[in-house]
Structure 1
Amino acid sequence: MVNKENYKSELRSAILHLNERGLYSASKWAAEQLMGIVMDGEKNIPVRYKYLKVNSSTRRRSRTDESPSTLGAGSNISTPVRDEYNDGMDNDYYLLAKSYFDCREYRRAAHVLRDQTEVEECELHFLVEMFLLSRASYDEKAGEKRKEEENIELEGPLGKSDALNQELVLLESELSVLQKNGTIDSFGLYLYGLVLKEKGSANLARIVLVDSVNSYPWNWNACAYHELRLHNESLAKYEHLEGTFGYSNYIQAEIAKVRYSLREFDQVEDIFEELLSNDPYRVEDMDVYSNVLYARECFSALSYLAHKVFMTDKYRPESCCIIGNYYSLKGQHEKSVMYFRRALKLNNKYLSAWTLMGHEYVEMKNTAAAVDAYRRAVDISPCDYRAWYGLGQAYEMMGMPLYALHYFKKSVFLQPNDSRLWIAMAQCYESDQLHMIEEAIKCYRRATNCNDSEAMALHHLAKLHAELGRSEEAAYYNKKYLEMMEDEEREGPDMVKALMFLAQHCKEQKRLEEAAVYCTRLLDYTGPEREQAKNLLRGIRLEQSSSPAMDIDQFPLE
């Protein structure tokens, strides 16, 4: 005689084993067969009605912490902990719904669970099923999958459409009631935060997500939505965590990203090189590494990285962005745009792809497309200073400095320690349309305090003060510019201008020996400045008539 209980037990075990190994279709098949077994004495009910039958006899109570954690004002329920992996998992409805969920059949999952939650609030199944039910509603009934399909149908020139998630209001209402009643756990709060964020209620979403993290700190997804841009504070906390999680690649990657935001490229490069040696097939976060290699024009290293991620997993947004950076560095901007578009086909909310594609359109002088791409980026994340900066550049190219200044101000608010942003603002103020020189000087001064590695701000400060007739200030900044170039053993493009100004200024101030030194340095250059330096040296010799005559022959005039 067939032992149906044994079949059911074996099928339940098979579902778990298949699911553990990622065999989701086979797991779904087993779950459907489990639901298809008619027990002796049970009326053969059509499956569509059987799903609506509440069967709480197989549910088990779960063990919770002795003292439930508090969720602020959000919930009085702590997240349960299973005694064993299989305990509490023998509910057939749950297993079937979970198998549908894993196969991305969200409507089917929601349908199975819709009437399976009328049990005591502290049971594990209630909490888990409520999360799956709500998440299935979020992904399917609430319109996420349908919205993606509409995006494909309605997309504009850059994939932009007005498709919206139409049913978030209902889901928000359901989750709000659960939160007020205290019958929602940390995972439900996480989902509620997602819904609020999607609807644009960013502040309330942040509060709910903080409650979720406080209740269950291991849910990394809830933490990932916090972008407070407190870089130094974040760096201190991550370095503190290193004491406990010293071998965590995730912690190292987060430190690298914070240092990237602080533009500490040497340290970022070292961290990512170590990450790749420990985890050679890592694709996650490697697009940040590619940005560093791109900025430093490390062509060979970027080529190697692009090849490596292509061989590892070419159908990842990160991989497409890395390859896009590679072609951009080669000057093949059309091909670069193609890969950024491919990244957006894989994930149309991938922030870096929109921003980088905007940069490429700027290079191609396609300002309209660049503005569109940057606007999509700031729609996804208003905290992306690069997109605001890109918008400023685009409007500056179109000869609209007031618009450009507006966007540069937004970018500098988000990233106040980036000298490039202050310099961009200063150049807007300096433009012929605005000609606000004093404001430009203030911005250049801020840039000098923000690690202006190219010394551009110092040169511009010297030039503007000279134009305003402030020769002493101009001389001060020219000296600072020369000192910076000498300390770093670099030859800047404006060194000749600085030397010539200082030579003439010192001569006018009767500091003839100092003027002669600057003239001597100018003799090492070619061009008209060399001849001007010779004439200055002759003038200096004439003015030193009361002193021993200077031997002009000591300077190589030919």
Structure 2
Amino acid sequence: MASAKETYRAELRAAARQLGERCLYSAAKWAAELLVGVDLDAAPASSAAMDSPSSSSAAAGRLLHLHRSGGSSFRHRPRPGGGSSSEAGTPLGGVSYVSTPIPDDDAFDSGGDKYLLAKTYFDCREYRRAAHVLQNQAGRKAVFLRCYALYMAGEKRKEAEMIELEGSLGKSNAVNQELVALERELSTHRRTGSIDSFGLYLYGLVLRDKGCEGLARTILVESVNSYPWNWSAWSELQSLCTSSDILNNLNLKNHWMKDFFLASTYLELKMHEEALKRYERLMGVFRCSGYIQAQIATVQYSMRDLDEAEMIFEELLRTDPFRVDSMDIYSNLLYAKESLTALSFLAHRVFLTDKYRPESCCIIANYYSLKGQHEKSVLYFQRALKLNRKYLSAWTLMGHEYVELKNTPAAIDAYRRAVDINPRDFRAWYGLGQIYEMMGMPFYALYYFRKSSYLQPNDARLWIAMAQCYESDPLQMIEEAIKCYERAANSNDTEGIALHQLAKLHGMLGQSEEAAVYYKKDLERMEVEERQGQNFVEALLFLAKHYKSIGSFEEAEHYCTRLLDYAGPEKETAKNMLQGIKRLQSGFPSMDIDHFAL
């Protein structure tokens, strides 16, 4: 009996061939890359095992670290009480995956030569010629390729119409004219049972394009249940899972490909911990998979663990130096860290590798943006969108560039195009909020900030933006601002803005005790980070005055003494306060000039 690892390899090897023969090249590439990423000494844990209590308890601690000394792969650290890494990749509790037979192809039946000709035409982007060659072929494989060629011909014509009518980046109501006929034919094949999983995948695409999302999900579930190795079908299904409720209601078979789907969908739904756990478990088998490594790095980036994500991306580039996939995420990371040298090197590398990839254009745009050359940055984002007008990141980041250029209408248009593509893009909603705040329209800004914080509830920056909007002069809703700053403080506010503002706002409301608590927390944070500035002095001064006012002279003296180390008016104030404290302690009346009205 073949081992589990050999079974996975055999399945992926057959899938890469079958997908390629059907011109599903992205899915074929994905399967082939995963094939060579299979570790020869492990087997994956099942979905049920991942959700078991024993697996959950083992999830504490970090699982991965980068192994730089020799090989290109990651190595697992044993979790506390979790055993060795080989055990971590073994199915638990006797639960196993369902067995899905690899279907036989009907490629070389009586129409095999015509199929070969049609595939050649398809590869040359002569889609209608490909469909014409297969018009009298009845085999399922031939029917799929004919319908797929018609679908692609319709997409090609739709793109041409959009450019002719509105330009390369304009909006247009152009539609794929083949959708109606394809839906009619494919629905008939489904009713008669003469459709295969690939036909179901195409039927799902057609229904999605027509706006029938519920039925499209049902059809795509049927497709992946009957042929689970088509990653393109899983990806389309993921795009239709816009909430965890929809995801949990899918009736999916427990095939090992389901784990890849769940991990990717968790990442899209911002369920980062769940996504990371899935990918870490899958690394037990697909240890050399560049895809999984890139996804883990993306999760770490989304969780703001920039250093860990950067290490993974660096290792990924070292082992696959001509890789472009996911490198746009890496460029965003380098931009966030303001690593101009590394970003310059990455931009130069992808330019030499394939400068006409949308990801390459986005990376180069990020480089110019970090240099402050925003006009050039916009130019490269526009190039990326000419290559792929549904490239979400390019629309969002181009909106940021238009904000820098003070081109408000263009920024609003870019952000709105982004949320049209993906309503869950919190960055675009946040960008819209910023623009309307700049335009002096705080209620509009609050609406968009709320949308962004709903989608990314653990991002302190979004709560701070909303709080500042509440705090602004037109609104002055201090209590609401305090609530938002509290959420930010509980969401790992690395810049410490929330604590300082909470202290100031409580002080404004006369809530000295609450203000003192937050000033002390802020002071402790700045001491740990070895930061000293105006906020540090402000905290010392407030605490000195507060403790003096409530009669805690020892505490007040402590903070006054610390203020003596700083130049400026605060130093003189501290000296006067110390003199006043000594008079009070000695029984003499205070001569603090602050007590006299002018």
Q: TM-score, normalised by structure 1?
A: 0.78
Cα separation, 2, equivalents of 1:212 and 1:145: 25
Q: Secondary structure at the match of 1:521?
A: helix
* Aligned partners of 2:300 and 2:309 also within 8 Å: yes
Cα separation, 2, equivalents of 1:88 and 1:236: 45
CA shift for structure 1 position 482 = 1.3
Question: Cα RMSD (Å) of the superposition?
Answer: 2.5
Q: Secondary structure at the match of 1:544?
A: helix
Cα separation, 1, equivalents of 2:389 and 2:200: 25
Cα separation, 1, equivalents of 2:200 and 2:318: 38
TM-superposition CA deviations, 1:123-179 (whole Å, max 9, x none)? xxx222222122112111xx3111211222222695333333344233223323333
Q: Secondary structure at the match of 2:586?
A: coil
Q: 2:136 aligns with which of 73, 94, 115?
A: 115
1:204 aligned partner: 215
The AA in structure 1 aligned to 2:349 is K
CA shift for structure 1 position 276 = 0.8
Q: 1:173 aligns with which of 175, 178, 184?
A: 184
Q: 2:358 aligns with which of 307, 317, 336?
A: 317
2:141 aligned partner: 128
* Aligned partners of 2:169 and 2:386 also within 8 Å: no
CA shift for structure 1 position 285 = 0.4
Q: 1:191 aligns with which of 199, 202, 218?
A: 202
CA shift for structure 1 position 215 = 2.3
1:303 aligned partner: 344
1:293 aligned partner: 334
* Aligned partners of 2:297 and 2:308 also within 8 Å: yes
The AA in structure 1 aligned to 2:480 is E
1:96 aligned partner: 117
Deviates more, 1:247-256 or 1:506-515: 506-515
Q: Secondary structure at the match of 1:224?
A: helix
Cα separation, 2, equivalents of 1:371 and 1:269: 31
TM-superposition CA deviations, 1:195-245 (whole Å, max 9, x none)? 222233334333333332222222122222314433222211111100110
What does residue range 348-427 of structure 1 map to in structure 2 within 5 Å?
348-427=389-468
What does residue range 513-524 of structure 1 map to in structure 2 within 5 Å?
513-524=554-565
What does residue range 47-62 of structure 1 map to in structure 2 within 5 Å?
none
Cα separation, 2, equivalents of 1:408 and 1:517: 41
* Aligned partners of 2:169 and 2:385 also within 8 Å: no
Q: 1:325 to 1:256 in 2, by over 3 A?
A: same
Cα separation, 2, equivalents of 1:198 and 1:400: 36
Residue 537 of structure 1 pairs with residue 578 of structure 2: yes
Deviates more, 1:515-524 or 1:108-117: 515-524
Residue 437 of structure 1 pairs with residue 437 of structure 2: no
CA shift for structure 1 position 82 = 4.3
* Aligned partners of 1:151 and 1:159 also within 8 Å: yes
Q: Secondary structure at the match of 1:542?
A: helix
TM-superposition CA deviations, 1:379-412 (whole Å, max 9, x none)? 1111211111111111111111111111111111
Q: 1:139 to 1:439 in 2, by over 3 A?
A: same
Q: 1:89 to 1:265 in 2, by over 3 A?
A: farther
Residue 80 of structure 1 pairs with residue 91 of structure 2: no
Aligned length: 465
Cα separation, 1, equivalents of 2:191 and 2:276: 36
* Aligned partners of 2:467 and 2:481 also within 8 Å: yes
Cα separation, 1, equivalents of 2:503 and 2:540: 12
* Aligned partners of 1:423 and 1:457 also within 8 Å: yes
Cα separation, 2, equivalents of 1:167 and 1:90: 24
1:475 aligned partner: 516
Q: Which consecutive unaligned segments of at least 5 residues does structure 2 have? A: 1-16, 24-97, 239-267, 589-598
Cα separation, 2, equivalents of 1:406 and 1:518: 42
TM-superposition CA deviations, 1:259-283 (whole Å, max 9, x none)? 2222221221111011011111111
Deviates more, 1:483-492 or 1:153-162: 153-162
CA shift for structure 1 position 246 = 0.5
TM-superposition CA deviations, 1:390-443 (whole Å, max 9, x none)? 111111111111111111111112111111111112222222223322222211
Q: 1:467 to 1:178 in 2, by over 3 A?
A: farther
Q: 1:469 to 1:148 in 2, by over 3 A?
A: same
Residue 154 of structure 1 pairs with residue 165 of structure 2: yes
2:384 aligned partner: 343
Cα separation, 2, equivalents of 1:89 and 1:459: 77
Q: 1:538 to 1:246 in 2, by over 3 A?
A: same
Residue 138 of structure 1 pairs with residue 159 of structure 2: no
Larger RCO: 1 or 2 (CA < 8 Å, sep 6+): 2
CA shift for structure 1 position 526 = 3.5
Cα separation, 2, equivalents of 1:190 and 1:452: 44
CA shift for structure 1 position 475 = 0.8
Q: 1:115 to 1:421 in 2, by over 3 A?
A: same
The AA in structure 2 aligned to 1:216 is Y
1:251 aligned partner: 292
Q: 1:264 aligns with which of 305, 312, 315?
A: 305
Cα separation, 1, equivalents of 2:168 and 2:114: 44
Cα separation, 1, equivalents of 2:385 and 2:379: 10
1:123 aligned partner: none
* Aligned partners of 1:391 and 1:404 also within 8 Å: yes
Cα separation, 1, equivalents of 2:404 and 2:353: 30
Deviates more, 1:409-418 or 1:532-541: 532-541
The AA in structure 2 aligned to 1:268 is A
Structure having the higher Rg:
1
Q: Which consecutive unaligned segments of at least 5 residues does structure 1 have? A: 1-15, 23-68, 72-77, 118-125, 548-558
CA shift for structure 1 position 70 = 11
* Aligned partners of 1:158 and 1:372 also within 8 Å: no
* Aligned partners of 1:485 and 1:492 also within 8 Å: no
CA shift for structure 1 position 254 = 1.0
* Aligned partners of 1:262 and 1:417 also within 8 Å: no
CA shift for structure 1 position 472 = 0.6
The AA in structure 2 aligned to 1:237 is R
Cα separation, 1, equivalents of 2:331 and 2:377: 13
Cα separation, 2, equivalents of 1:494 and 1:201: 55
Residue 497 of structure 1 pairs with residue 497 of structure 2: no
Cα separation, 2, equivalents of 1:347 and 1:291: 19
